[in-house]
Structure 1
Amino acid sequence: MTKLTATVQFVFVLMACCTHVVICSPSANYTDMLSLLDFKKGISLDPQQALRSWNVSTRFCSWEGAMCSVKNPGHVTSLNLTNQGLVGQISPSLGNLTFLKILVLSANSFSGEIPMSLGRLHRLQILSLTNNTLQGQIPALANCSNLTGLYLGWNQLTGQIPVNFPSRLQELELQANNLTGTIPASLANTTKLQRFSCAKNNIEGSIPNELANLLGLQALMVGLNKLSGQFPQAILNLSNLVSLSISFCNFSGVIPSSVGTSLPNLQLFEIGDNIFHGHIPSSLTNASELNDIDMSRNKFTGVVPSSIGRLSQLSWLNLEFNELQASNKQDWKFMDSLANCTELRIFSVQSNLLAGQVPNSVGNLSIQLQDLYMGINQLSGDFPSGIANLRNLIALSLLGNNFTSGLPEWLGTLNRLQRLLLFSNFFTGPIPSSFSNLSQLVDLYLDWNQLNGYMPPNLGKLQMLEVLSISSNNLHGSIPKEIFAIPTIAKISLSFNNLHGPLHADIGNAKQLIYLQISSNNLSRELPSSLGNCESLEHIDLSQNSFSGSIPASFGNISSIKMLNLSHNNLTGSIPASLGNLQILEDLDLSFNNLRGEVPTKGIFKNATAVLIDSNQGLCGGPLDLHLLACPIMHSDSSKHKLSVLLKVVIPLVIVLLLVVVISVFLFQRRKQKTKAISLPSFGREFPKISYGDLARATHGFATSYLIGQGRYGSVYQGKLFQDEKLVAIKVFKLGTRGAKKSFIAECNALRNVRHRNLVHILTACSSIDANGNDFKALIYEFMPRGDLHNLLYSIQDSEGPSYFIPLAQRLSILVDVSEALAYLHHNHQGTIIHSHVGDFGLARFKFDTATSFVDSSSTSSIALRGTIGYIAPECAADGQLSTATDVYSFGVILLEIFIRRSPTDDMFKDGMSIAKLAEINLPNNVLQIIDPQLLQELDHSEVDNGTQILQSVLSIGLCCTKTSPNERINMQEVAAKLHEIQEAYLRGN
C-alpha cells in the first residue's frame, strides 16, 4: 500500500511537470514570470489583446513583447509593447527584472507615476515611455549605470530635471511635459551626451555655460520654454552640433557674427519667436549643410545676406515677422542668390519692410518650391510674373501689399495650389475664369481689393474648396448657385459688394457650410427656407440687403448656429418661435425690418443683451427685459358690442385729438427748414440728407481758413449747417488716396450701432458727386468747440491765445469718460472694436470670435499698421497685430501724458527712456518730481489731503496699462472701475 501511494504521487508529479513545464523546470525564474504577471494586473484595458498570450500555459519568454537572454534562459532582457493601446499603470514589479536591458512602453495610455523601482535596473540600457499620460516627477535613475537612452517625452511629468544622470547616457528626451526649474549645470557631467531635448516645458533661466563641455552634443532642442538671456555663448563651443532649436523663448540681443563658422555642421537652426535684433550674420552661410532655418518673429533689420545661395541644401527658410528691408536692386540680390538653393521647398519673408516691385528672379527659385509667403510688406506694381514658373506651389501669399493691375489668367496653371491669399491689395478687373482649373484649391482669399465683374459660376468646379472669401470688392451680378454644390465649402464671405438678385435655394446643398457672410449687398426676394438644411452653420450674416418676406421657420433647424444677423432688410411677418429652440445661439440681430407680432419667450429671447429687435414697429410681448408693449388681447363674441363702441366712438375721437396735436406742432415748426430723411445702411437710423453743395457753402468752398485738421485719408473742416446754422465738423475723404474708400466704409461700419455718451456723435453722411463730377464722400460730426485733448493740454504754451489750465478734477473726469467709452467699444458692443481714437473710427478694427484657418480679413477694416508714434504698443509696432490690449497700452500712455504733461515723443524720450519708464522709476517715492507743475500748484493751494495719493494711484493705473506683455495689461473695464474709485475718493477728500 505504501509503494502504491508513492507511485501515485510520482505519477501526479510527472503529470504536473508535463503540463506546467515552466513551473517545474529547474531553470525557470519565478521572479521574472511573477513580475510580468503583476505588470499585467495593472493593465485595465488591452484593446488589441497584446497580452492575450500572457498565461501560465505558455512559456513567458515567448509572451508578446517579451524576450529572454540566450546566456541566461528564464531571465527577461527586453520588454517592448509599443503602440498597443494599453491603459493602466506601470507596475513597480518591473524593477525586479534584474536582467532587463530594454524597456519600451511608448505610445500607450499609461498613467500614474514612473515607478522608482526602475532605478534598480543596473543593466538597463534603453528606457522609453514616450507618448503616455504619466505624471509625477522623474525618478532617480543614476544607478542605471548602463543607461544610454532615456525617452520620457510627451507625458505630463512635473518637477525639475534631475541633477544626476548616468554617465554613459547618450540621448535624453524630456520634451512636451510640465517640467519646471532650470537646466542643471551638472548635465555637463554626462560627457557622452549626444542629444538633449527639453522643449515645450516651463523651464526658466538660461542655458548653463557648463554645457560647453559637451563636445559630442549633436542636438540641442530647448525651445518653447521660458528661457531668457543673450544668445548662449556655450553653444558656440559645440562644433559637432547638427540641430539647434531655441525657438519660442525670451532670448534677446544679437546673434554672434561667428555663428556659422563656429557651428559648421549645423543642419537645423531654429531661433524664431524670440527678441533677437541686429543683422542676420553673413557667416551663417558657412554652415554649408544647413537645410532648415527659422529666424521668424524677431526684430532683425537690414537686408537678407546676398550669400544665402551658398546654402545649396536649404529646404526651409522662414524670415517672416521681422524688420528686414529691400528697396533697390542691391537689396534684392538675395532673391537672385536663392536660385542656387535647388532644394528650397518653403520660403517666407512675410511681414517685413520689403518694398517696390518683386524682381523677376523670383521665377528662378527652386522648381520644388511649395510655399511662398511675401504678404504684409510694401510691395507694389503688377502681379509678380516670375511666379508663373513655380508650378509646384501649394501655398501663395501676397496679402497686405500695394499690388495693382488685374489678376493674371496664368494663375490657373498653378494647378497644385491649395491656398491663395491675395487680400488687402488693389487688384482690379475680373476674377480669372482660369481659377476653375485649381482643382486642389482649399482656401481662396481675395478680400479688400477692387475686383469687379461677375463671380465666375465655374468656381463650382473647385470640389476641394473650403474657404471662398471675396468681401469688400466691386463684384456685381448674382451669387452663382454652383458654389453651393461644392461638397467641402465651409466659409463663404462676400460682404460689401454690389451683388444682387436672390439667394438661390441650392444653398441648402452646402451641408458643410459653417460661416456665411454676405452682408452689405443688394440681394433681394425671400430668404430660402432650404438654408435650414445647412445644419453645420455657426455664423450667418445677411444684414444690409433688401431681403423681403418672412423669416423661414426652418432656421430653427440649424442647431449649431451661434450668430444670426438679418438686420437692415425688408423682412415681414412674425419671428418664428423655432428660433427660441436654438440652444447655443448667442447673438441675434433682427433690427430694422418690418417684423410684427409676438416675440418668442424661450431660449435666446430670455437674454435681452443678446437680442436686437429695434425698429420693428409691429413687435409686441416677449420677455419683460425687452421692454415691448403687450400684445392686444383677442376678444370673445360677448364683447363684440364693446369692440364696436371702441371702433365707432373712441378711436375716431383719439384720431381727431392726434390731428389737432400734429397740426399744432406743424404750425410751430413751420419756420424750420424740413429735411428729407434717408436711411443710411451703414448706420441704420434716420439722418438728414446733405448734398455736396450744402457742404461747399458751409465751408466757403472748403477754404483753408475752415480747415481744422488733416489725416492720411481725409481733411476735417469747420462749418455751419441746417437752418439753425449748427456748428459741425465735416470729414471729407481723399478718395484719390489708396485705402480712403475702405476707411469710409470702416468708419460707417463702426458707427452703425455704436451708442455711447462719450463717443463723438455722427449727425449725417454725404455720398455724392463734387463740382467736377468725381465721387465725393464725407461724414458730419458734432463740433467739439474746445478742440481735442492735445490742444487743451498744451494750450498754455500757445503764445497767440489764452492759456487753459485743466484742474485735477477735470483730468480725472476726462479719463473716466474715455475709459468708459473704450470699455464700451471693447466689451459691450456687438463686435469688439479695437481703436485708439474715440472720436475717429477710420482706424477702427472689428474683432469677432471667428474661427479661420489663416486671417479673417472680413472682420477687420485694415491689415496695415495703424497708430501714432509714441502711443503704439510694442507688439503692434513690431508686427502690426492689433488687439484690445493695444488700445489699453495707448490709453495708458495718454493717461500718463495728461498728468505728466509731456508728449511721448518729447526729445527726452530716447535711448530706452519712455514716458512709461519715466513713471515707473519715479513711483511711488518721487511722483511729485514728474507731475505737471500746474497740478502741483493746484494741490499747494487746495485743502485736499489725499492729492499725492490720488496722483500715485492714477499713475499706477497708467503703468498697469503700459506693461510690455499684452497678457499682463488690465482690460478697459477694470481701468474704468479703478478710475471711478479714484474719482470718488478725490471728491470725498475734497
Structure 2
Amino acid sequence: MEAQGLTGEIPPCISNLSSLARIHLPNNGLSGGLTFTADVARLRYLNLSFNAISGEIPQGLGRLPNLSSLDLTSNNLHGRIPPLLGSSSALESVGLADNYLTGEIPLFLANASSLRYLSLKNNSLYGSIPAALFNSSTIREIYLRKNNLSGAIPPVTMFPSRITNLDLTTNSLSGGIPPSLANLSSLTALLAAQNQLQGSIPDFSKLSALQFLDLSYNNLSGAVNPSIYNMSSISFLGLANNNLEGMMPPDIGNTLPNIQVLMMSNNHFVGEIPKSLANASNMQFLYLANNSLRGVIPSFGLMTDLQVVMLYSNQLEAGDWAFLSSLKNCSNLLKLHFGENNLRGDMPSSVADLPKTLTSLALPSNYISGTIPLEIGNLSSMSLLYLDNNLLTGSIPHTLGQLNNLVVLSLSQNKFSGEIPQSIGNLNQLAELYLSENQPSGRIPTTLARCQQLLALNLSSNALTGSISGDMFVKLNQLSWLLDLSNNQFISSIPLEFGSLINLASLNISHNKLTGRIPSTLGSCVRLESLRVGGNLLEGSISQSLANLRGTKVLDFSENNLSVGGIFADRDKVFVQGNPHLCTNVPMDELTVCSASASKRKHKLIIPMLAVFSSIVLLSSILGLYFLIVNVLLKRKGKSNEHIDHSYMELKKLTYSDVSKATNKFSAGNIVGSGHFGTVYRGILDTEATMVAVKVFKLDQYGALDSFMAECKALKNIRHRNLVKVITACSTYDPMGSEFKALVFEYMANGSLESRLHTKFDRCGDLSLGERISIAFDIASALEYLHNQCIPPVVHCDLKPSNVLFNNDNVACVCGFGLARSIREYSSGTQSISRSMAGQGGLLGTCSW
C-alpha cells in the first residue's frame, strides 16, 4: 500500500488486511492512533514516518514474525516501546526517532539477532544503554542522541564489530570513554558530545576510517591523546568545552589533511597556533576561542573554503596583521571573531580587502589604535561590527553608512572625536547602536531618525550638546531595550515625545543639564523597568502619571531640584510598608531617616524610588481597602558606567556554550517541563549567578522555528511585574553546526498556583483569605495590563492554575502564552480580528516548573 496526500485518521480496517505485506505512507497528514494485531502477520515493511500519528505504539507490532523494517519517525507517539519489539528474527531496521517515547530500551530490541539499523534519537528514553546493543554481530548504525539516557557507555566485547555510526549526543552518560571503542575498526562517526563523560581520551589510532569525532561539552581532562592528531581521515573534530590541556602539535595541518571542522574552544590549551595549520586547505570552521593560546595569528591563505574563525579570548597577537590580508582569498568567509586578545597597532587598510561575503567582524577588547579605514564601507554584507573597547581615534568614518545590512554597530570605549556622521541614518536595518564612552561632540545627527528598527541606543558618556529632539524619538518608537543619553551636556527640557516610547525598558538621561519638569508623558512608557533622570536641573513635583509605570524596578530622581509632592502628596494614599531599604531625608511616617552620609548630599532630597502604586481590592461589604504593592530600589550615585543598565546588552548575548553550561549540559535532571516544540530546563547563568528557566526549541519538529520567531516577536514588548519575565533569546548553532534556538526566562522558584491549591505543595494547602486576595490581585493586574495597556491588546486564552507561577517574593506571575491572541480593531470600531502571537505549541505550554 502506497499513497501521497492522505489526511485524516488511519482507517481501522488496515489492521484486518491479512494479506498485506507492505505499507508505505510517509509524508502525509495521517493522524489518530495505530492498531495492529496478529491478523497482519505477513506484514514485512511499515513506513508511516513524518505524519501526525498519536497514541502509543501498538504492542502487536512486537508480535509480527515477518516484520523486517519499521519506520514511525517524526510522529506524535508517546509511551513505551513495546517490550517484545525485536523478538522476531526478521527485524533489520527500526526508526522511532523524533517522537515522545519514554521508558528504557527493550532488551529484546537490544538483542535482536538481525538488527542492522536503530534510530531512537530525540525522544525521552531513560535508563542505561543495554550492553548487548554494542555487542551485536549485525548492527551497523545506532542513533540515540537527544534522550535522557544515563550510566556508562557499555564496553565493546564483540569483535569484529560492524558498527559504522554511533551517535550518543545530548544524554546524561557518565564515566569514562571505554578504551574498547577504539577497536571498532569500521567506525566512521563517533558522536558523544553534550554528556557528562570524564577522564582522558583513549588511544583511537586503530580507527582508520573515522571521519567524525565529537566529544565536545563533556568533562574530559588531561592532554589530548596524540592519536587524535594523526587520524588522517578525520573531517570533523570536536573537543570543545572540556578541561583538556596541552599544546597543539606543530604539524597538525599536515597530519589532519582532510579536516573541515576543528572545534577546540573553551579548554586550557596553551602555546602557539601551529603555522602548519595553514596547510589544512579544506578547513571551513575553526574554533579555538577561550583558551590560553599566544603568539602571532598564522596565515589562512590556503583555506579558501573557510567560513567561520573564532579565536577570541586568548593572548594572541597581530604581528604585522598579515593574517588579516591572507583572508582575502576566502571567498565563502562569513564570521571573524578575534576579540579579547592582545592585538596591537593601527587597524590596517587590509580590513577593507576582506571578502564581501563577510557578515560579522568582531575585534573588541584589544589594543587596536589608529583610525578606521574609510574603505570599510566596501564590506557590503556586514551585519555585525564590534570594535568596542580599543584605542581607536579620529572621527567615525562616514563610509559606515554604506553598510546597509548592518544590524549591530558597537564602537563604545574608544577615543573617537568629532561629530557623529549624518550617514549613520542610512543604516535602516540597524537594531543596536553603541557609541558610549568616546569623545564625539556636537548634536545627535537628525538623520538617526531614519534608523527606525533601533531597539537599543547608547550614546552615554560623550560630549554631545544641544537639546534632545523630540521629533526624532517619535520616529524611533521601536526602541525597546535601552535608550541611554546620560553623562553628556544636553540642555533644555526632557522631550514630551519620550512618551511615544511605549515599549522602552530602560531610559537613562541622568547627568546632563536638563531643566524644567519631568514630563507627565513618561507615564505612557508603561513597560519601563528602569528610569534614571538624576544629576540634572529638574524642578517641580513628580508627576502623578508615573504611577502608571507598574513594572518599574529602578527609579532615580536624585540630585535635582525636585519637590516632594505629586504622587507623594497625599500620604493617606501612599503605602510604603515592607520596604526596609527605603529611607528619606524628609520626615515621613513609616520611613527611616537616611544615614548621615546620604543626608549630606547636595540637594538633601528624598530619593523617591517609586515602586508600584496602591490599588484597592473590593471583595464584599466586609472587606474594604486591602493593601498596596510596593517595589522600591535605592538611589545610585557614581561614575557613568554605574548608571548604565547593562542587563539589556549583556544577558541577551548568550552563546550555545553559555546555555549548555547553565543547564548542566542539558541534563535530564534539570528538566522542569516539556512541550511539543521545546523542553524547559532549570539553569544558572554564570554572568550573574542568576537562576533561570531555559526553553530549548526542538527545531527538528515542524513548526518549531516559526514558534520561536513568533514568540520573540510577541514577547519582546510585554513587560509587567506579574508576567514571567523573558530575559533573553539565544539564536546560534550547536557544535554540529545545527541551528539552536532558546528563550531564557526568570526562574519561578516557588511553584505554581495549581500545586498550592492541591496536595503537591503541602504548606500552602490552606491559603488564607489574604493570600488568596493577593494572588487574585496579581493575576488581575497582569490581565489588566495585557488587555488595556498592550498595543495591540493581548488576550491570554489559557489562564489556569498551572500557568500562574510564584517568584522568590511569592508574587504571582502569569505565563503560558501558547494560545495568546492579539486584538486589532478596524477603523470602524465595530469589528475586530485576532491573530496568534506565539504560534501553535505556545510559549511554555503548562509552565509548572
Q: What's the TM-score, normalizing by structure 1?
A: 0.55
Partner residue in 1 for 2:328: 339
Distance in 2, matches of 1:572 and 1:57, equals 86
1:846-890: CA deviation from partner (whole Å, max 9, x where unpaired):
89772425799xxxxxxxxxxxxxxxxxxxxxxxxx9999xxxxx
Partner residue in 1 for 2:263: 270
Q: By how many angstroms is 1:576 displaced?
A: 3.2
Gaps of 5+ in 2: 1-11, 52-62, 609-632, 654-685, 690-849
Distance in 2, matches of 1:322 and 1:484, equals 43
**Contact 2:65–2:89 at 8 Å: present in 1 too?**
no
Q: By how many angstroms is 1:53 displaced?
A: 6.0
1:151 correspondence with 2:143 = yes
Distance in 1, matches of 2:104 and 2:202, equals 29
Partner residue in 2 for 1:620: 588
Partner residue in 2 for 1:304: 297
**Contact 2:200–2:224 at 8 Å: present in 1 too?**
no
Q: By how many angstroms is 1:424 displaced?
A: 0.3
* 1:843–1:415 distance in 2 versus 1, CA, 3 Å: closer
The amino acid that maps onto 1:381 is G
The amino acid that maps onto 1:179 is L
Q: Which one of the candidate residues 189, 194, 211 is aligned to 1:195?
A: 189
* 1:103–1:549 distance in 2 versus 1, CA, 3 Å: farther
Distance in 2, matches of 1:480 and 1:538, equals 23
**Contact 1:529–1:555 at 8 Å: present in 2 too?**
yes
* Helix, strand or coil at the partner of 2:227: helix
What does residue range 465-504 of structure 1 map to in structure 2 within 5 Å? 465-481=454-470, 482-490=472-480, 491-504=482-495
The amino acid that maps onto 2:499 is G
1:810-841: CA deviation from partner (whole Å, max 9, x where unpaired):
xxxxxxxxxxxxxxxxxxx96999xxxxxxx9
Q: Which one of the candidate residues 539, 558, 566 is aligned to 1:567?
A: 558
Distance in 2, matches of 1:323 and 1:62, equals 57
Distance in 2, matches of 1:376 and 1:339, equals 24
Distance in 2, matches of 1:66 and 1:274, equals 40
1:943-973: CA deviation from partner (whole Å, max 9, x where unpaired):
xxxxxxxxxxxxxxxxxxxxxxxxxxxxxxx
1:197-219: CA deviation from partner (whole Å, max 9, x where unpaired):
1112221111112x111111101
Q: Which one of the candidate residues 379, 395, 415 is aligned to 2:404?
A: 415
**Contact 2:520–2:546 at 8 Å: present in 1 too?**
yes
What does residue range 652-691 of structure 1 map to in structure 2 within 5 Å? 685-686=600-601
**Contact 1:175–1:201 at 8 Å: present in 2 too?**
yes
1:486-515: CA deviation from partner (whole Å, max 9, x where unpaired):
353221122111123333333333233222
Distance in 2, matches of 1:487 and 1:93, equals 62
* 1:461–1:245 distance in 2 versus 1, CA, 3 Å: same
* 1:115–1:521 distance in 2 versus 1, CA, 3 Å: farther
What does residue range 935-946 of structure 1 map to in structure 2 within 5 Å? none
Distance in 1, matches of 2:542 and 2:643, equals 27
1:850 correspondence with 2:841 = no
What does residue range 362-373 of structure 1 map to in structure 2 within 5 Å? 362-373=351-362
* Helix, strand or coil at the partner of 1:475: strand
Q: By how many angstroms is 1:556 displaced?
A: 3.4
Partner residue in 2 for 1:817: none
Q: Which one of the candidate residues 149, 154, 161 is aligned to 1:162?
A: 154
The amino acid that maps onto 2:600 is R
Q: By how many angstroms is 1:297 displaced?
A: 1.2
1:284 correspondence with 2:274 = no
Partner residue in 1 for 2:549: 558
What does residue range 779-818 of structure 1 map to in structure 2 within 5 Å? none
Distance in 2, matches of 1:560 and 1:201, equals 40
**Contact 1:598–1:620 at 8 Å: present in 2 too?**
no
Q: By how many angstroms is 1:431 displaced?
A: 1.5
Q: By how many angstroms is 1:56 displaced?
A: 7.5
* 1:425–1:192 distance in 2 versus 1, CA, 3 Å: same
Q: Which one of the candidate residues 43, 66, 73 is aligned to 1:75?
A: 66
**Contact 2:17–2:39 at 8 Å: present in 1 too?**
no
Relative contact order, higher structure (CA 8 A, sep 6+): 2
The amino acid that maps onto 2:297 is V
Q: Greater Rg, structure 1 or structure 2?
A: 1
Distance in 1, matches of 2:573 and 2:157, equals 71
Distance in 2, matches of 1:114 and 1:411, equals 58
* Helix, strand or coil at the partner of 1:391: coil
Q: By how many angstroms is 1:224 displaced?
A: 1.4
Partner residue in 2 for 1:226: 219
Q: Which one of the candidate residues 177, 184, 197 is aligned to 1:183?
A: 177
* 1:350–1:65 distance in 2 versus 1, CA, 3 Å: closer
Q: Which one of the candidate residues 572, 578, 589 is aligned to 1:606?
A: 578
1:357 correspondence with 2:357 = no
**Contact 1:66–1:80 at 8 Å: present in 2 too?**
no
* 1:514–1:20 distance in 2 versus 1, CA, 3 Å: closer
Q: By how many angstroms is 1:278 displaced?
A: 1.3
Q: By how many angstroms is 1:534 displaced?
A: 2.9
Partner residue in 2 for 1:528: 519
Partner residue in 2 for 1:324: 316
* 1:162–1:73 distance in 2 versus 1, CA, 3 Å: closer
Distance in 1, matches of 2:636 and 2:92, equals 60
The amino acid that maps onto 1:243 is F
Q: Which one of the candidate residues 235, 248, 252 is aligned to 1:255?
A: 248
* 1:348–1:143 distance in 2 versus 1, CA, 3 Å: closer
1:53-72: CA deviation from partner (whole Å, max 9, x where unpaired):
647899776773499xxxx9
Distance in 1, matches of 2:410 and 2:262, equals 28
**Contact 1:568–1:684 at 8 Å: present in 2 too?**
no
Q: By how many angstroms is 1:277 displaced?
A: 1.5
* 1:21–1:155 distance in 2 versus 1, CA, 3 Å: closer
Q: Which one of the candidate residues 31, 36, 41 is aligned to 1:50?
A: 31
The amino acid that maps onto 1:850 is S
* Helix, strand or coil at the partner of 2:149: coil
Moved more, 340-349 or 137-146: 137-146
Q: By how many angstroms is 1:236 displaced?
A: 2.3
Distance in 2, matches of 1:325 and 1:208, equals 33
Sequence identity (%)? 33
1:145-188: CA deviation from partner (whole Å, max 9, x where unpaired):
33222222222222111213872111111122222111110111
Distance in 1, matches of 2:401 and 2:16, equals 74
**Contact 2:508–2:531 at 8 Å: present in 1 too?**
yes
Partner residue in 2 for 1:665: none
Distance in 2, matches of 1:227 and 1:145, equals 30
Distance in 2, matches of 1:441 and 1:165, equals 59
Distance in 2, matches of 1:432 and 1:138, equals 62
Q: By how many angstroms is 1:449 displaced?
A: 0.4
* 1:295–1:529 distance in 2 versus 1, CA, 3 Å: same
* 1:500–1:86 distance in 2 versus 1, CA, 3 Å: farther
* Helix, strand or coil at the partner of 2:315: coil
The amino acid that maps onto 2:170 is A
* 1:91–1:21 distance in 2 versus 1, CA, 3 Å: closer
* Helix, strand or coil at the partner of 1:204: strand
1:620-679: CA deviation from partner (whole Å, max 9, x where unpaired):
2136xx369xxxxxxxxxxxxxxxxxxxxxxxxxxxxxxxxxxxxxxxxxxxxxxxxxx9
Distance in 2, matches of 1:204 and 1:831, equals 48
Q: CA RMSD in A?
A: 3.8
Partner residue in 2 for 1:235: 228
Flag the structure with higher helix content.
1
The amino acid that maps onto 2:574 is P
1:137 correspondence with 2:128 = yes
Distance in 1, matches of 2:639 and 2:366, equals 21
Gaps of 5+ in 1: 1-18, 34-46, 578-594, 629-678, 689-751, 754-828, 834-840, 857-881, 886-990
Flag the structure with higher strand content.
2
